[in-house]
Amino acid sequence: DSGVTQTPKHLITATGQRVTLRCSPRSGDLSVYWYQQSLDQGLQFLIQYYNGEERAKGNILERFSAQQFPDLHSELNLSSLELGDSALYFCASSLLAPSTDTQYFGPGTRLTVL
Amino acid sequence: GENVEQHPSTLSVQEGDSAVIKCTYSDSASNYFPWYKQELGKRPQLIIDIRSNVGEKKDQRIAVTLNKTAKHFSLHITETQPEDSAVYFCAASSSGGSYIPTFGRGTSLIVHP
């Protein structure tokens, strides 16, 4: 158990819908990262938040957005869902300091868009 | 930006053999190189990491080597066991930036009993 939690574990929805994925980082970690992993694909970095502020953006679609709240949990919002959005979505957290940049991954949310 | 190449994409070995997975990176500023193991449908789990001030690091049957000059690093697993079967990802990141790691595309390791 990495200490990072994600809910829900599974999500099945229809095209055009909107969903919210939630992540709670490890105690003490200030940085949260979101990744998308499609079938047989590697980990695609979506977005990073640090202490409530957006820090870096990767290949995140305009239909997707995220935020990090004062208690440091983060939510990833996916809207106007398409079949191709079906994937595993992982959240990871780290302390974000020069000597402790190790990322710890949550168990993931499996999103299925029908 | 950083580019990480990982080889091979699939590696099949017999139980007890050694396995080696290699990665190359492009950004000379990268100074942190973690390796993750991901079993089917599960989270990537950090198995070992190395920083650029170290050339080699070992943890029981797992070792990682780093050649900064050539910009490549490798994962070595000795005495492989069936439970080592998984997808392994290498990554590279720089503490001078936002710590966003660039991941390799993964190596599917299959250990045959």
B43 and A CB contact within 8 Å? yes
Identify whether A8 is preceded by a cis peptide bond (ω within 30 of 0).
yes
B46 and A CB contact within 8 Å? yes
pLDDT of residue B52: 82
Give the mean pLDDT of B74-96. Answer: 92
B54 and A CB contact within 8 Å? no
Express each pLDDT in B23-68 by its tens digit. 999 988 888 899 999 998 899 999 999 988 888 999 999 999 999 9
Of B42, B95, B103, the CB nearest to A43: B103
Interchain contact, A55 vs B98, CB within 8 Å: yes
Q: What is the average pLDDT score of chain A?
A: 91
How far is A28 from A43, CA to CA, in rounded Å?
A: 24
pLDDT of residue A1: 81
State the Cα angle at B33 between B30 and B34, rounded to 5°.
150
